[in-house]
Amino acid sequence: MNQFEEQATQSLFEKNLITEVQFKQVAAYRSLGIFSLHTELKLFLYLSVLAFTSGIGILIYQNIDTIGHISILSLLLVVTVICFYFSFKNAVGFKKQETHFENPIFDYLILAAVLLSCIFIGYLQFQYTAFGTHYGLATLIPTATGLFCAYYFDSKSILSIAITGLAAYIGLSVSPQSLLNNDFYETTALSYSAIGLGVLLVLWSVYSTRIALKPHFTLVYLTFALHLISISCINNLFESYWGIFAVLLLASSYYFYKSSYQVKSVSLFVFTILYAYISINILIFKLIDLINISDILTPLIYLAPFYFIVSIILFIRLIKKFNKNNTDDSIR
C-alpha cells in the first residue's frame, strides 16, 4: 500500500498538481509511520455489540427455567426499546445520501437494537408461537425492520443482516454448517431462489444508484448477489442441464468484474476471479470427460502443476493491475 501511495504522490508532483514543498511535506509525514486507531476502535465496538447480544442469548439458554419466559421477554423488550429510543433521538434522519451519527457509538447502539429485536421476535415465536404456523413472518418482520433501520440510520451492517434475513425467508441458510450440510446443494429449487434473489439485488442496486438512493450501499448488494448467483450456478454445473448455468455464470462474472472497477472494491474483484476460475476448471474437466481423451490424460496430469503456477501468476498480475488502475483513477 505504501508503494502505491508513494507512486500516487509522485504522479501528483510530476503533473504539477502539488508543489515541491508539498511533496516533501507529504513524504516527511509518511516517514513518521503514524497510523490511525479509528478502524481498530470501531472493530472493538462491533465485537462488544456481538459479545453483548451473544451473552443475552447464553443467559436465556442457561437460565430459562429459573428466570421465566415473561421476565426474559420483558427484559429484551425494555433493552431493545431503550436502544431504539436513543438511536432515533440522536439520528440525523433519513436522507438519500450518506449520513453519520455525530457520535459513532450510536451506530453500534442501533446495531444492538436490531439484533435484540431479532432475538425477541425469534424467542416469541419459538416459545409462544405468536405468529401461528406462519413461520416466515418471524423472519420477515425482523427483515423489514432491518431494511427500514438500514436506510434510516444509514448502516451497512444492518443492511447485511436484513439481506441475510431475506435469504432465510426464501429458504436459504447462510451459516457455515449449512454450506456443507444444508439442502441448498440437494434441492435445486433453492438454488433457483438464490439466483433470483441475487438478480433482484443487482437490479435494485442499479435502480438505487440511478436515483441516487444510498449509492454507497451498492457494494453490499453486489457482494451478496455475487455469492448467491455464483455458488448456485457452480452447484448446478454438476447437473445434466449445466450449459445454461455455465453461460449465466460467465455472464455474471463479466458483470461483477466490470462492477468491481466501478465501485473500486478489491474484495468483489477477488471473489469474482475466484468463482470464474473455479467454474472454468469445472468446465475444462467436463470437456475432457465428454471428449474422452484418455490417451493424453497422463501428459495433462504432468502439466497440471505448471497450469496452477501460471494461474497464480496471472491472478497476482490481475490484482496489481486492479490496484494500479484504481490508484490512477483516484489521481485523475
Q: What is the number of other CB atoms lying within 10 angstroms of the CB of residue 222? A: 24
> All 3 cell numbers of residue 3?
508503494
Mean pLDDT of 156-176: 80
Instruction: Output the pLDDT for position 175.
Output: 47
Structure-model confidence comparison of residues 37 and 182, the more confident one? 37
In whole angstroms, give the CA distance from residue 270 to residue 319. 8
Does the pTM surpass 0.85? The reply is no
In whole angstroms, give the CA distance from residue 29 to residue 76. 49
**% the chain with pLDDT above 90:** 33
**Domain ranges within the chain, ordered by starting residue:** 1-35, 36-169
Instruction: Output the pLDDT for position 211.
Output: 94
In whole angstroms, give the CA distance from residue 246 to residue 101. 45
pLDDT at 200 over 90: yes
Structure-model confidence comparison of residues 13 and 220, the more confident one? 220
Helix (H) or strand (E) holding 201: helix 188-210
Average pLDDT, the chain: 82
Closest residue by Cα to residue 315 from 285, 258, 280, 277: 277
Phi first, then psi, for residue 130 (nearest 5°) are: -60, -30
Structure-model confidence comparison of residues 273 and 135, the more confident one? 273
* pLDDT tens, position by position, 21-50: 887 787 777 776 666 666 667 777 778 877
Amino acid at 167: A
Instruction: Output the pLDDT for position 174.
Output: 47
Nearby residues of 101 by Cβ (< 8 Å), 6 or more positions away: 90, 91, 92, 107, 153
